Amino acid sequence: MSDLLKSLQEAILTIDEETALKVTQELLDSGMEPEEILESGMTEALLELGRRWNCGEAFLPEVVAAAGIFERCSAIVEPALMAKADRKVSDKAIIATVKGDLHDLGKNIVGAMMKTVGLEVHDLGKNVPTEKIIEAVKELQPKLIGLSALLTTTMPEQENVIKALEEAGLRSAVKVMVGGAPVTQEWADRIGADGYAPNAPEAVRVALELTQVAA
Amino acid sequence: METVLESASRKVVIGPDKPFVIIGERINPTGRKVLAAQLEAGDFTTVEQDAISQVEAGAAMLDVNAGVPGADEAKMLVGLVELVQELTEAPLSVDSAMDSALAAALPVCQGKPLVNSVNGEEERLEKILPLIKERGAAVIGLVFDEAGPSMDPDERFRIAQLIVERAADHGIPQQDVLIDPLAMTVGAEPQAAVVALETIRLVRQELGNNMTIGASNVSFGLPGRKIINYSFLALAMSAGLTSAITNPLVPETPMTLMACDLLLARDEYGMNWIKAHRK
């Protein structure tokens, strides 16, 4: 890996925003593909931060700050990404934190990362009532819905959204993926979701898989 | 203003001149995967231990939550309430997001329980307040509404007022509403504790209601959580907090709170403090 990519990762991991933005621009100027900067630099840093978080070596303020830096670095590489021909037709995705749940950090990170792979992301926010999600599906006709729930008490709302989609006759038109700290693959299967991811980079992989199947 | 809670045999009084009341938080499968799996399998050994050890460690009341996703929460909550009442004399705080679970568990509670919780959302108020009135229980009011938690203490105070008024409409006296000023993690929002503390001051001065708070959230995602938690409780007590839902099994927490009782003249002749040190 190039030393610059490594220093981009390091800058994100140590919450050195100034360096992260500067190095991202330098990498782009050096002619590196924007996908590589995104995947091998920025995303890899968030994955490492996730690993550190899971074993208690990284802390919430660092995750919040790194997610912000990731978004601002994305803004630097985005024009180059969009300029590429294969990115022009983008699939729509709706993301939301379900009703009763006010935790939106994970959902925001997933949204920022989905944008970087060319999905047209419509973020409905947090504490979003099921009816509002159904309305948005009717209006935007997305290929994908991502539902976040961070509480065991709000997880059942993910199931309610899937049921409401069925009742509205929209279930077959859209793929549903679920996530959030207490959510598991088993839960996703139980409620009839199409996909589950334990972290943001994995969520992007699953999102791409699901939108391609739906294509 | 004094808030009285009761079990079959014990009375707990929450008030600004009374010793701070710890409501033990441990009987709650949220975020405790092992406990959730045990409950689903019908294994109650951890609950039994948590009930007894929390009371021994200084919890005057116990919070009981049975929220295991996918399980029959009403049935589970009734079972846990019955079990905990057999094991301890502590009055209970019955904790559920489901009104059907609360409706099932309240008739099983002995004495005068606390219900955790309502908030400023109309739907929730209309479903839960009649249950509180019918049972003669007390209730916790979280100061957020349909719009989610505000970072403006005045807005949180407005919702506290609203909950007290709505409770009064249903015939529930002011002293039976405990306001929860909301502790969110300072790990995600640096102002989180400051806003909670200012809300506590406003409620104390302008409304006079007793308060409780789910205190351990304040340190989520940070190292050294225990120190943050009991330091926050000391600050909150000074601002006017009268009880908290927290973990008494961290020995520094009940000791810090007892020292604060002494310092804030809530421990007559310092006898609680002296007794704790003679053990």
Pairwise CA distance, residues A44 & A46, whole Å: 5
Beta strand extents in A13-60 (DSSP E only): none
Q: Both tokens of residue B152? A: 């403006």
Pairwise CA distance, residues B145 & B253, whole Å: 30
CB distance B69–A64 less than 8 Å?
Answer: no
CB distance B69–A102 less than 8 Å?
Answer: no
Q: What is the mean pLDDT of residues A9-36?
A: 95
Identical topology for domains A3-86 and A89-214: no
ipTM above 0.85, yes or no: no
Residue of A60, A178, A187 to mutate, testing the B interface (most B Cβ within 10 Å of its Cβ): A60
Chain-wide mean pLDDT for chain A?
A: 90
What superfamily would CATH give domain A89-214?
Cobalamin-binding domain (3.40.50.280)
Cβ contacts of A61 on chain B, cutoff 8 Å: 187-188, 221-222
Touching check for B214 and chain A: CB below 8 Å? no
- Which secondary structure element, helix H or strand E, spans residue B246, and what is its range? strand B243-246
φ, ψ (nearest 5 deg) of residue A54: -65, -30
Spans of all domains in chain A = 3-86, 89-214
Measured N-to-C along each axis, helices B33-40 and B45-56 cross at an angle, to the nearest 10 degrees, of 130
How many CA atoms within 13 Å lie on the side-chain side of B59?
A: 29
Pairwise CA distance, residues B64 & B106, whole Å: 12
One-letter amino acid of B167: A
Q: For residue A82, is pLDDT > 80?
A: no
Distance from CA of B33 to the nearest CA of A (A): 9
Residue A60: which of B31, B149, B221 has the nearest Cβ?
B221
Whether a cis peptide bond, with omega within 30° of 0, leads into B219 is: no
Cβ contacts of B185 on chain A, cutoff 8 Å: 60
User: pLDDT in tens for each of the 279 residues of chain B?
Assistant: 999 999 999 999 999 999 999 999 999 998 788 999 999 888 999 999 999 999 999 999 999 999 887 788 999 999 999 999 999 999 999 999 889 999 999 999 999 999 999 999 999 999 999 999 999 999 999 999 988 889 999 999 999 999 999 999 999 999 999 999 999 999 989 999 999 999 999 999 999 999 999 999 999 999 999 999 999 999 999 999 999 999 999 999 999 999 999 999 999 889 999 999 986
Q: Is residue B278 classed as helix, strand or coil in its secondary structure?
A: helix
Residues A3-86, CATH architecture: Orthogonal Bundle (1.10)
The domains of chain B, with CATH numbers, are 3-278 (3.20.20.20)
CB distance A105–B188 less than 8 Å?
Answer: yes
Count chain A–chain B contacts defined by CB atoms under 8 A. Answer: 46
One-letter amino acid of B256: T
Pairwise CA distance, residues B241 & B187, whole Å: 22
**Pairing of β B11-14 and β B3-6:** antiparallel
> Taking a C-beta distance cutoff of 8 angstroms, is the pair A98, A132 a contact?
no
Pairwise CA distance, residues B36 & B33, whole Å: 5
CB distance B148–A156 less than 8 Å?
Answer: no
Pairwise CA distance, residues B50 & B56, whole Å: 10
Instruction: Please report the pLDDT score of residue A86 as a whole number.
Output: 60
CB distance A155–B69 less than 8 Å?
Answer: yes
B63: left (phi over 0), alpha (psi -120 to 50) or beta: beta
